[in-house]
Chain A
Amino acid sequence: MATQHSRSAARIMMAPAVILLLGWMLVPLTMTVLFSFKKYLPLRGGDLGWVGFDNYVRFVSSSAFWPSVQVTLVIVGGVLAITVALGVLLALLLDQPMWGQGIVRILVIAPFFVMPTVSALVWKNMFMDPVNGLFAHLWKFFGAEPVSWLSEASIQSIIMIVSWQWLPFATLILLTAIQSLDSEQLEASEMDGASPLARFGYIILPHLGRAITVVVLIQTIFLLSIFAEIYVTTQGAFGTRTLTFLIFQRVLESQNVGLGSAGGVYAIILANIVAAFLMRIVGKNLDS
């Protein structure tokens, strides 16, 4: 619905963004795919020629690969389960009438604004340190032996740190969704004799379905590539080496670019599967 003139103006005005993003996507992607078919060791001879699918095979067959996939999935799954479950509860709670609602909401949201390196460091040192951490004090107070969290329960600790960062996000979105629920629907179901539990199960939860899907998909995309939390706390030790971290180590620490790139292609495929689902939901939203 516009004139030829405005259409051509629109094309010109969109060009910079499209070209930049196209370049940002295509150039590194092409390079990664190219490298993945090469033996490429920048510090030990550089580009040593084509090797076909060698890197892909080696990456998958390395003893570190499957554990890293497993760790990735455990962390992503754990964080999703915790944030969605607690997020729904918290959203329901915050939706109730109370005094100081605005302040409570600010308190709950705060962790989301803390940069990942800070939150990892604070948790690592001030809470999870086996000697001076607050948890150690708490354990001693109850007569228990302090736990060396990040080495003995490393995955659980990382899930806990990451969940703390992402809980606000889940809560905020679920709260928004709850508030968009038509209160007449709830009143109607009350007139129909539904108990509070039935109202939650039959009205509220189905209404939240879409919001939960969005939370799960968006968090998955970010969680698949969590980096700073592991970089700062365990450096991938104690069974916390995720796929992202494994690739990072192959590329930057052992400087095996070919192998790392093959891993990168795997990560890209993984992310694209999730992204495809998210895009479908967002796309539907565009139509309405």
Chain B
Amino acid sequence: MARSVTQQRKAINTAVAWAVGLLIFFPILWTILTSFKTEAQAINDPPLFLFFDWTLENYAVVQERSDYMRFLWNSIIIAGGSTILGIIIAVPAAWSMAFVPSKRTKDILLWMLSTKMLPAVGVLYPIYLVFIRLGLLDTRIGLVVVLMLINLPIIIWMLYTYFKEIPGEILEAARMDGATLKEEILYVLTPMAVPGIASTLLLNIILAWNEAFWTLNLTAAKAAPLTAFIASYSSPEGLFYAKLSAASTMAIAPILILGWFSQKQLVRGLTFGAVK
């Protein structure tokens, strides 16, 4: 174990770390603060930090003008739907690879991951075309499917690494105890993997929520999620800083909170277990 560190040393560490941390966090903090200002206060010279008239007006205006709730609802459906659909498809696949490994398992896993490396722009038009043919353009179901496919390799990989940590003997015990395959997965594997499944769920909701290539290119109005909602503020309307801030805060708040909860799992998920 490390030796005890002098209080002075610890105080210096603390001061430096907090300063750096706040600096990195500042853009987010500033956005949140600005969202509570009036438009005039938002562009005040010199900038106002805490001493201004706090107001919720911007939030009301944003909701009224851009119909925030509709975008939010689309984001929730698309991020949640694609993740849940992905997990339903991934659990059996991950079970197979973790507990009935064959010589090809490793190759299949790596191949799945490599599909994630396919640059989206390289296949944009074909997908666009397929979407038009199938009438999926600007539909939530279309985006759910695309984002599910994009994240499926990560979901499978994460579940695979979690499942690998569950001793195979326990599943064999269940088999000896008379459980069918379905019962084995439902009553034994899934309850034991709840923490892993939960963090897979969280991480993939975050990834899907922030995905900004397909969501921008495959939607117009009906199915547009928050990424598109915010992108619409890049026009001259963006000069309304307070409203832009309110809209931004509303777009990132849900996921920021989710992300803080799942930070530990993030490392494993995003490095595919290559860093422990």
- Complex Cα–Cα for A247 and B18 (A): 42
Interface residue tally on A, bucketed by range: 35 or more
Chain A residues with CB under 8 Å of B274's CB are 210, 214, 281-282, 285
Contact B227 A13 (CB under 8 A): no
From B115, B122, B181, B263, give the contact of A267 (CB < 8 A).
B122
Once the chains bind, are A111 and B17 in contact (CB under 8 Å)?
no
The interface stretch among B50-58, B62-70, B190-198, B232-240 is B232-240
What's the least CB distance linking A6 to chain B, in Å? 5
Asked if B47 and A99 sit within 8 Å, CB to CB, the answer is no
**List of A residues within 8 angstroms of B21 by Cβ:** 103-105, 107-108
Q: Within the complex, which residue of B31, B95, B259, B273 is in contact with A122, where a contact is CB–CB below 8 Å?
A: B31
Q: A113-B206, A275-B117, A286-B109 are in contact. Are A93 and B13 (CB under 8 A)?
A: yes
Is B112 a contact partner of A251 (Cβ separation < 8 A)? no
A228/B106 contact (C-beta < 8 A), A13-B92, A117-B231, A275-B117 known: no
A113 touching B252 by the CB < 8 A rule?
yes
Tell me whether A172 and B263 are in contact (CB under 8 A): yes
For B263, the chain A residues whose CB sits under 8 A away are 105-106, 109, 172
Chain B contact-residue range equals: 35 or more
5 intermolecular pairs with C-beta atoms under 8 Å apart: A29-B118, A93-B16, A108-B21, A109-B260, A121-B238
A18 within 8 A of B: yes
B270 touches A227 (CB 8 A): no
Contact code string A154-176 (vs B, CB < 8 Å = 1, else 0): 00000000001001110011001
CB <8 Å contact, A225 and B113 = no
Q: Which of A29, A116, A124, A164 contacts B123 (CB 8 A)?
A: A29
**A251, B124: Cβ atoms closer than 8 Å:** yes
Q: When the two chains form their complex, are residues A126 and B276 in contact, meaning their CB atoms are under 8 A apart? A: no
A129, chain B: closest CB distance, angstroms: 9
Which listed residue, B47, B258, B273, B275, touches A177 by the CB 8 Å rule?
Answer: B275
| Chain B residues in 8 Å Cβ range of A248 | 121, 124, 217
